[in-house]
Amino acid sequence: MNHHLRGPELPAPRGPLSAAVTAFLRDAGPLPDAAGTEAADPYGDDLQLALYLCYELHYRGFAGVRPELEWDPGLLALRGALENRFLSALRADTPVHDSLDEALAALLVEPAEGTGVSHFLCDEGELWHVREYATQRSLYHLKEADPHAWVLPRLWGRAKAAMAAVEFDEFGGGRTERVHARLFADLMTDLGLDTAYGRHLDAACAEMLTVVNLMSLFGLHRRLRGALVGHFADVEITSSPGSRRLAEAMRRTGAGPAAEFFYDEHVEADAVHEQVVRHDVIGGLLAEEPELAADIAFGIDATEFVEERLARRLLGEWRAGRSSLRVPLAREMAHTS
């Protein structure tokens, strides 16, 4: 079977919750008591991996895992407990703006100190930093537009039409070779990385799992449709300047033409998407459901919160001269060969 169509292998557990979920998916053990989630670190490796395992059943699943487990009542109950722990922590810890207008305006302000990941990679990053960044972000970019598509049945009118138009671009405008997930796989090929979907799950840090789980959480719940639109707005509005720096990082480090093209493409596409999302997706949704303004703002602010946690983790490791990956890339490549 084509490895792009086959689900990834189950990852190594990172604690008792993820160990129990992994065993259950292998038909080798019971699920943990949902009460056990209450003491778990909501942003920690164990809870985030357990939640990722539950969510992945709604994407491509895992090799050897029965498809019907996607809707197993016990697993859904556990997922709900994990989600409640995660969402409650997000609502308590996320710095929130007083209004949606303030949240949107903040996305247009570039940090004066220029200390983000894209700044680091553009100004001083080496090729190994770029390869690690692509490895971490592969969990996001190889499913980049998928969870946002879940909001389409929950919108109507102007918001639905505009959201579908942007998603059409994300999925390549009808051209297989231009699907953005495919373009990121081409970037990974330039960097000598295995492009198989989910291949680098063991290597990704908890902060990266949190970034991916956030969009799955918002996407799978109709009640969080406003937060998903906020997440989408954050991604599209902030993408263009960051992508410009990352394109320069690819050129400076000699990452390769496909690596450069991926970010060059996002500079252009997302500059247009920003206006569509702001005026037609958000504007159209608020025209129909003005009460969702606070949820949209929460989606924006929560996205910034988890992305900043990831940036602190990556930059902290890199500036200390250490790898950001849980499994060193050299070992991953050796395992692949």
Cβ(106)–Cβ(97) below 8 Å: yes
Global pTM value = 0.94
Q: Is the pLDDT of residue 157 over 50?
A: yes
Residue 184 has a pLDDT of 96
State yes or no: pLDDT of 137 exceeds 50: yes
- What was the pLDDT predicted at 234? 95
Is the confidence at residue 1, as pLDDT, over 80? no
Residue 159, judged by CB atoms within 10 A of its CB (0-12, 13-18, 19+), counts as buried
Architecture of domain 100-336: Up-down Bundle (1.20)
Is pLDDT of 73 > 80? yes
Sorted by sequence, the CB contacts under 8 Å of residue 107 that are 6+ apart come out as 233, 234, 237, 238, 300, 304
Rg (the chain; Cα; Å):
19
pLDDT the model gives residue 335:
41
Res. 337 pLDDT band, cuts 50 70 90? very low
pLDDT for position 336:
42
Positive or negative: CA dihedral 207, 113, 135, 125: negative
333 pLDDT higher than 80: no
CA distances from 228 to 45, 145, 163, 215, 225 (A): 23, 12, 11, 7, 5
Please tell me the predicted confidence (pLDDT) of residue 5: 56
Which of 36-40, 176-180, 267-271 is predicted with the least confidence, judged by mean pLDDT?
A: 267-271
| Separation of alpha carbons 292 and 69, rounded Å | 33
Percent residues over pLDDT 90 in the chain: 85
User: Alpha-carbon distance 74 to 82, whole Å?
Assistant: 12
Calculate what percentage of the chain has a pLDDT beyond 70: 94
What is the mean predicted confidence (pLDDT) over 212-222? Answer: 98
Residue 201 pLDDT greater than 90, yes or no: yes
- Work out the pLDDT band at 3, boundaries 50, 70, 90: very low
Q: How many CA atoms lie within 13 A of 197 on its CB side?
A: 18
Separation of alpha carbons 145 and 336, rounded Å:
27
Residue 115 has pLDDT above 50, yes or no: yes
The full set of domain ranges for the chain reads 16-93, 100-336
Average pLDDT, the chain: 93
Q: What is the pLDDT of residue 268?
A: 73
Residue 87 reports pLDDT greater than 70: yes
Instruction: State pLDDT tens for residues 293-305.
Output: 999 999 999 999 9
Where helices occur in the chain by DSSP H, the ranges are: 16-25, 45-56, 73-93, 100-107, 117-123, 127-141, 146-149, 157-170, 180-190, 206-220, 225-253, 257-276, 283-288, 293-319, 329-336
Tally of residues, the chain: 337
Which residue type is seen at 104?
L
